[in-house]
Amino acid sequence: MTDERSDAVYAYLLQLQQQLCSTFEGDAGSGQFVLDEWQRPGSDHTIGGRGITAVQEQGSVMERAGVALSDVRGSKLPPAATERNPQLTGRSYRAMGVSVVMHPRNPHAPTSHMNVRFFNAGDVWWFGGGFDLTPSLPYAEDCVTWHSAAREACAPFHAGLYDHTRAHCDEYFKLKHRGETRGIGGIFYDDMNEQTPQFGMSWEQCFAFMRSVGQHYHEAYQQIIARRHATPYGERERAYQLYRRGRYVEFNLVFDRGTLFGLQSGGRTDAILMSMPAVAHWAYQSPDAELDAALLPYLTTMKGHDWLAST
């Protein structure tokens, strides 16, 4: 893998970070991102890297928002990477990506996550990423907007790519110990390269797909936030939002491979954990059975629901 290709991906990721910060500093976020630019020297035994962690705290729309850019190198892959690819054990690597988590203040506005990443280890390379939506108070209209964007992001590449990445998203973002998905899904893909079964693409096509995912996430989430951020709410809805945020934390700490990769590879802990909400609650029992009845079908029996049947 040439440095020119890796550098082209990094240039795009920097542009994507800047675009997202610009949008969600304005009316869609109403708060300022603080930029923390960092560099770490490398050696034969330690990781070297660079990046910019952009975090917004206590905005009027976003209670917490993070857009983190990283480009790290290491002499040995951590277990989170080699578990699925044992043939790469012991290899040096370069991994870069943009990770986004948005936690709106208003309980009617859903949390969102997006990640796009590129990895290479010598002659092996792949792209990964996707986006998913986690509402506390669900709206079918938002589900249609979200999955329409997901389908459109995939459409230019393979006819079956949306269905495949949507199913992968539902399976990955799942709290297995609770029998719930984390939210209403979206798309998710790993290890995308020329050898991917059914959906193998050239480096150029994979890079184009990365850009498509970033674009469609940006447009869809901006639309949903504009629709929901000013919806009136009270203490009941806020209490339920904080309770459901606890589920988000559970997933990130127990199952999320990106979190595990970052911590196992000696990354910057506070930057890795920026995906956590500013405030979350846990309770022995749900605080609101009626709101449970409205939300839980979206996370259980409606898993895989065809939101686009009439579009």
Residue-wise DSSP of the chain:
--HHHHHHHHHHHHHHHHHHHHHHHTTTT-SPPEEEEEEE---SSS-EEEEEEEEEES-SSEEEEEEEEEEEEESS--HHHHTT-GGGTT--EEEEEEEEEEEESSTTSPEEEEEEEEEEETTEEEEEEEEEEE-SS--HHHHHHHHHHHHHHHTTT-TTHHHHHHHHHHHHSEETTTTEESSSEEEEEEEESTTSTTT---HHHHHHHHHHHHHHHHHHHHHHHHHHTT----HHHHHHHHHHHHHHHHHHHHT-HHHHHHHHTT--HHHHGGGS-S-----SS-S-HHHHHHHHHHHTTTTT--TTTT-
Strand partners, 99: 68, 115
Residue 113 is among the residues annotated as catalytic for this protein: yes
* Cβ atoms of 38 and 12 closer than 8 Å: no
Catalytic residue among 113, 147, 216, 229: 113
Cα separation, 125 vs 194, whole angstroms = 9
Contacting residues for 16 by C-beta, under 8 A, at least 6 apart: 98, 116, 214
Owner of token pair 């990443």: 117
- Catalytically active residues, by annotation: 113
